[in-house]
Structure 1
Amino acid sequence: MSPLLDVEGLHVRIPLEQGMLHPVRGIGFNVSRGETLCIVGESGCGKSLTSLSLMGLLPRRARITATRLRFAGTDLLGLNEDALSELRGNRMAMIFQEPMTSLNPAYSIGNQLEEIYLRHRKASRSEARERAIFLLEKVGITAAASRLSQYPHQLSGGLRQRIMIAMALMCGPELIIADEPTTALDVTVQAQILRLLKDLLRELDMGLILITHDLGVVARIADRVAVMYAGQIVESGSVIEIFERPRHPYMQALLRCVPIPGRTPPGASLGSIPGMVPALYEGTKGCAFRNRCDYAAEPCASDPVPVHANRGSTWRCILSEDESLIHTSKAARSAETAAS
Structure 2
Amino acid sequence: MSLLLDIKNLKVDLPTERGVLQAVRGIDIQVKRGEMLCLVGESGCGKSMTSLALMGLLPSKAKRSADHMRFDGIDLQSLDERGMANLRGSRMSMIFQEPMTSLNPSYTLGDQLCEALHAHKKVTAAQARDRAVYLLERAGVPMAADRMRQYPHQLSGGLRQRVMIAMALMCEPDLIIADEPTTALDVTIQAQILRLIRELQKEFGTAVVFITHDLGVVARIADNVSVMYAGQVVENAPVREIFTHPSHHYTRGLLNCIPVRGKTEPGSRLQSIPGVVPSLIGKIEGCTFANRCAHVRDACIAPPNVQVDPTHTALCVDAVPLASLETA
Match of 1:112 in 2: 112
Match of 1:333 in 2: none
Match of 1:305 in 2: 303
So what's the TM-score if we normalise by structure 1?
A: 0.92
Cα RMSD (Å) of the superposition? Answer: 1.6
Taking the aligned partners of 2:260 and 2:205, their CA distance within structure 1 comes to 33
Amino acid aligned to 2:288:
A
Amino acid aligned to 2:313:
T
Kept in 1: contact 2:248–2:319 (CA 8 A)? no
Taking the aligned partners of 2:262 and 2:216, their CA distance within structure 1 comes to 15
Secondary structure of the equivalent of 2:291?
Answer: helix
Matches within 5 A, 1:96-245: 96-245=96-245
Amino acid aligned to 1:129:
R
Amino acid aligned to 1:18:
R
Taking the aligned partners of 2:73 and 2:13, their CA distance within structure 1 comes to 25
Taking the aligned partners of 2:198 and 2:122, their CA distance within structure 1 comes to 29
More helix by share: 1
Distance 1:219 1:320, change over 3 A: closer
Match of 1:319 in 2: 318
Taking the aligned partners of 2:265 and 2:150, their CA distance within structure 1 comes to 45
Alpha-carbon deviation of 1:126?
A: 2.0
Match of 1:70 in 2: 70
User: Residues 235-278 of structure 1, C-alpha deviation per residue, up to 9 Å, x if partnerless?
Assistant: 01011110111010001000111001222121111110122222
The yes-or-no answer on 1:37 pairing with 2:47 is: no
Alpha-carbon deviation of 1:299?
A: 2.8
Amino acid aligned to 2:308:
N
User: Residues 204-246 of structure 1, C-alpha deviation per residue, up to 9 Å, x if partnerless?
Assistant: 1110100000010000000110000000000010111101110
Secondary structure of the equivalent of 1:275?
Answer: coil
Match of 1:271 in 2: 271
Kept in 1: contact 2:308–2:319 (CA 8 A)? no
Match of 1:247 in 2: 247
Secondary structure of the equivalent of 2:22?
Answer: strand
Distance 1:320 1:143, change over 3 A: closer
Matches within 5 A, 1:49-60: 49-60=49-60
5+ residue gaps, structure 1: 327-340
Alpha-carbon deviation of 1:202?
A: 1.1
So what's the TM-score if we normalise by structure 2?
A: 0.95
Secondary structure of the equivalent of 1:99?
Answer: coil
Secondary structure of the equivalent of 1:209?
Answer: strand
Match of 2:47 in 1: 47
Kept in 1: contact 2:2–2:33 (CA 8 A)? no
List 4+ stretches of structure 1 deviating above 3 A. Answer: none
Secondary structure of the equivalent of 2:146?
Answer: helix
Amino acid aligned to 1:281:
I
Taking the aligned partners of 1:14 and 1:112, their CA distance within structure 2 comes to 32
Alpha-carbon deviation of 1:118?
A: 1.1
Amino acid aligned to 2:264:
T
Match of 1:17 in 2: 17
Alpha-carbon deviation of 1:305?
A: 2.0
Alpha-carbon deviation of 1:39?
A: 0.4
Match of 1:85 in 2: 85
Kept in 1: contact 2:10–2:24 (CA 8 A)? yes
Aligned residues: 323
5+ residue gaps, structure 2: none
Secondary structure of the equivalent of 1:267?
Answer: coil
Alpha-carbon deviation of 1:322?
A: 7.7
Kept in 1: contact 2:306–2:321 (CA 8 A)? no
Amino acid aligned to 2:232:
Q
Secondary structure of the equivalent of 2:128?
Answer: helix
Amino acid aligned to 1:307:
N
Taking the aligned partners of 2:265 and 2:151, their CA distance within structure 1 comes to 44
Per mean C-alpha deviation after superposition, the further-off stretch among 304-313 and 55-64 is 304-313
Kept in 1: contact 2:42–2:229 (CA 8 A)? yes
Amino acid aligned to 1:9:
N
Kept in 1: contact 2:308–2:321 (CA 8 A)? no
Taking the aligned partners of 2:281 and 2:64, their CA distance within structure 1 comes to 15
Secondary structure of the equivalent of 2:101?
Answer: helix
